[in-house]
Structure 1
Amino acid sequence: MRNGERTAHASSFGAAADEYAEHRPDYARAAVAWALEPAPGPRVLDLGAGTGKLTAKLATLGADLVAVEPDPAMLGELRRSLPDVRALAGSAEAIPLPDASVDAVLAGNAMHWFDMAVAGPEIARVLAPGGVLAGLWNLLDDRSGWVAELARTAGSAAVGPRDTPAAWRIETAAVHLPSDPARARFGSPERAEFPHGQRRTADSLVATLGTRAGMLVMPEPERAAALGRIRAFLAGRAETAHGEFTLPMLTGVLRVRRL
């Protein structure tokens, strides 16, 4: 994805902050616990926190928590839904925290938007020695036949280059964290996947897929047509045509330690 296109996608969510908050899934508790497992202390930064989907899960785990989000609408939704969490305006490239002030930096479905040439050293700056950087992504579990067919029907705008397990493994294998030996280095990455699921109806799943960046930047006629195809597919499947169902998912985690 070109830089201009990446910027447009990354900045698309604010206009749909309320829909994002309502329809996007949370993260598997076991995945969040694994991400934090090597952290030397309880101070956690949720970076690119959006409307607080990961923030809320971290709060239930007792983290000493601060959230940072660049989009004003997303940040406003986070502050409204989680008023007890310290939530700051900022970005991965300019984190409004002191040096060595957190033990873990987590990013939920956000790390792929970071400019890691700038964000890598900035994350290393705020991490204490031995601290953890972890990205979490919710993935459609396309080992289920109907989910694989849904991904094909929805197309790349709704199911992007890291939204299924195989694609996520390829994408995260290419993640590069710049190292500056004079300041800080990151260790070798570790990856794990954890079962997850989201209770949906056909209508709410259509709404969920409509909050994907590729869908949000589409011209409205194309977006309506794409959502119509998805709706028709779900109406024609026994698994999804009537009432609530569980959308099979995985939460994938990539973690590294600051050396």
Structure 2
Amino acid sequence: MTDQLLRSSFGAAAAAYAEHRPDYAQAAVRWVLEVAPGLRVLDLGAGTGKLSATLVAVGADVVAVEPDPAMLTELRRTLPAVRALAGSAEAIPLPDASVDAVLAGNALHWFDMAVAGPEIARVLAPGGVLAGLWNIMDDRIDWVAGLERVSGSAAIGPRDTVSSWRTATADMLVPGAGLVARFGSAEQAEFPHGQRRTADSLVATLATRAGMLVMPAEEREAMLGRIGAFLESRPETAHGEFTLPMLTGVLRARLRSATRPTG
């Protein structure tokens, strides 16, 4: 299964993605922006605007860029005041040095960093910051670890849990010609978060994962059925609403002022 197939799977589920995917911890966003010289922020691979909404909430001046037309339509519908443009990490429709920070919510792993890295450096002002953010489940909690075992990697992958996200994301800002020279050492941090769910809505959330979206329908329904049965069997999740224990994990690096590309 190719990354291209996975990354292009979300458009068909754009409305469900907008309804069920979580936002991001405001503390995580503030930590990213504390090293940026201003608040001009690009939400890159913005999807339906989950991260854009958090950026707006902390007072950032946001421009969103998203390649999928269906996702972009949902973003414009839910956040009409945010400037939202068609484009990709590999071809950003913004001028040189036009933003102070580039953030990507659950998207950095889809970028071709050999191309996207220099492109991100181009649109960043000197000293600007690049950060990837991921909402990760706290699998130190027993029932969450059980959910991970039942769900399999199609629904809960290596970037989706506390026990694995640091290893899975640590090298994402290293590949690509000239990228290491342009950005300083990456830092990682986690910030407490949570999402109110029911058993049904958590099943619906997991159904928006790329691995689930590309499954044959019969296989996907069987997997979602097993997940639902597990949640109904657990006292923590069987009765009404509960808080899904999460963190927002952040990978952050700063553009070196002396090595910003020209042209």
What secondary structure is seen at the aligned counterpart in 2 of 1:103?
A: strand
> Which whole-Å CA distance do the structure 1 matches of 2:69 and 2:203 have between them?
25
Which position in structure 1 is the counterpart of 2:259? none
Question: Does the alignment pair 1:26 with 2:23?
Answer: yes
Within the alignment, does 1:46 sit opposite 2:60 as a pair? no
Give, in whole Å, the separation in 1 of the partners of 2:182 and 2:61: 24
Aligned counterparts, 1:171-250, within 5 A: 171-175=168-172, 176-178=174-176, 180=178, 185-250=182-247
Tell me the residue number matched to 1:113: 110
Structure-1 residue corresponding to 2:148? 151
Q: CA deviation at 1:179?
A: 5.3
- For residues 142 and 67 of structure 1, what CA distance do their matches in structure 2 show? 31
Extract unaligned runs of 5+ from structure 2: 257-263
Contact map agreement 2:67 2:88 (CA 8 A) in 1: yes
Q: TM-score, normalised by structure 2?
A: 0.95
TM-score by length of 1: 0.96
Quote the offset at 1:180 in angstroms.
Answer: 2.9
- Which residue of 1 is the match for residue 74 of structure 2? 77
Residue in 1 that maps onto 2:58: 61
Equivalent position of 1:93 in the other structure: 90
- Across the two proteins, how many residue pairs are aligned to each other? 255
- Among candidates 112, 137, 140, match of residue 137 of structure 2: 140
CA offsets, 1:25-82, max 9 Å, x none?
0001101111111001111000000000000010111111100000000000000010
Q: Is the 8 A contact 1:177 1:186 kept in 2?
A: no
Deviation of 1:177 (Å): 4.5
SS of 1:198's equivalent in the other structure is strand
Using the alignment, how far apart are the partners of 2:39 and 2:31 within structure 1? 14
Q: CA deviation at 1:5?
A: 1.0
Q: Equivalent residue of 2:89, what SS?
A: coil
Report which stretch shifted further, 158-167 or 108-117.
158-167
Equivalent pair of 1:92/1:122 in contact (CA under 8 Å):
yes
Residues in 1 aligned to 2:28 and 2:124: alpha-carbon distance in whole angstroms? 20
**Structure-to-structure mapping, 1:162-177, within 5 angstroms:** 162-175=159-172, 176-177=174-175
Partner of 2:260: none
Alpha-carbon contact 1:90-1:96 (below 8 Å) kept: yes
In 2, Cα distance between equivalents of 1:211 and 1:180: 35
- Give the Cα separation in 1 of the matches to 2:15 and 2:121: 32
Aligned letter for 1:190? E
Q: Structure 1: any 5+ residue segments left out of the alignment?
A: none
- Within 1, Cα distance between the matches of 2:22 and 2:171? 25
RMSD after superposition: 1.3
2:114 and 2:177 in contact (8 A); partners too: no
Q: What secondary structure does 1:130 align onto?
A: strand
State the match for 1:13 in structure 2.
10
